[in-house]
Structure 1
Amino acid sequence: MKSQDETLEEWCRLLLRAFELEDVDVDINEVLSVAGVAAHSVVRPAAPLTTFIAGLATGLTCAAGQAPDADAMKSAMDVARAVAKSYAADEARATAGSPAAGSAGTEPAETSVPSGTPGE
């Protein structure tokens, strides 16, 4: 019986092959780590949404010739992780600072995004 890591490696290779991206190196643990940060900092369904958007940003950055694959992936993952953590911190401040969380008149905090965001 294959381990979870072996199954994920195989699945990743199959997907890359299906999209004709065999030469792309995906750091599965990094993707899962960012998904975990999003799931715990926002809500669980934010995990696949976050990784999809980070992947889309990576692809657009690479297609535009702005960065090589590895650099674009690292940048997108760093941005996704930072935005998720910032979201959680903003939510914690909003909850701690308001008499009733979600009460009328509270403005959502702006999320700071590190410079060098893909797509800037």
Structure 2
Amino acid sequence: MNVLTEWTAIVCRELGVDPAEIDRDALLDLTKEVAHGVTRPAAPLTAYLLGLAQGAGTAPPDAVERLTALAQEWERTAGDS
């Protein structure tokens, strides 16, 4: 078992989360895109906000994909808002 898998299992157990419900690779891709496309500190903040929305039941089913796309488009569209 690698460190990331072991850590994920421990954190899921501590938080009462079913690890089968987590798409770890998609989440890691999201944080990578945010860190590189927006700013590094935005990556953990984005993951936390996504978790809050998931817990509150307000995150759309495609939230990870939508946030990833936003991060990928950030540099091109940041000045538009």
Question: What is the TM-score normalised by the length of structure 2?
Answer: 0.79
In the alignment, what sits opposite 2:43? Answer: 47
1:82 equivalent to 2:69? Answer yes
Contact 1:35 1:50 in 2 (8 A): yes
SS of 1:34's equivalent in the other structure is helix
Identity of aligned residues (%): 28
What is the Cα-based RMSD across aligned positions, in Å? 2.3
C-alpha distance after superposition, 1:29-51 (max 9, x if no partner): 11110000001110111111111
Runs of 4+ in 1 over 4 A off after TM superposition: none
SS of 1:43's equivalent in the other structure is coil
Structure holding more helix per residue: 2
C-alpha distance after superposition, 1:22-67 (max 9, x if no partner): 3652122111100000011101111111111122222222xx7x87
Task: Please show how residues 1-120 of structure 1 align to structure 2 within 5 Å.
Answer: 6-22=2-18, 24-61=20-57, 72=61, 75-91=62-78, 108-110=79-81
Q: How many residues align?
A: 81
> Which ranges in structure 1 are unaligned for 5 or more consecutive residues?
92-107, 111-120
Based on CA coordinates, which of the two structures has the bigger radius of gyration?
Answer: 1
SS of 1:38's equivalent in the other structure is helix
C-alpha distance after superposition, 1:41-95 (max 9, x if no partner): 101111111111122222222xx7x87xxxx3xx22112112212322124xxxx
Higher relative contact order (CA 8 A, sep 6+): 2
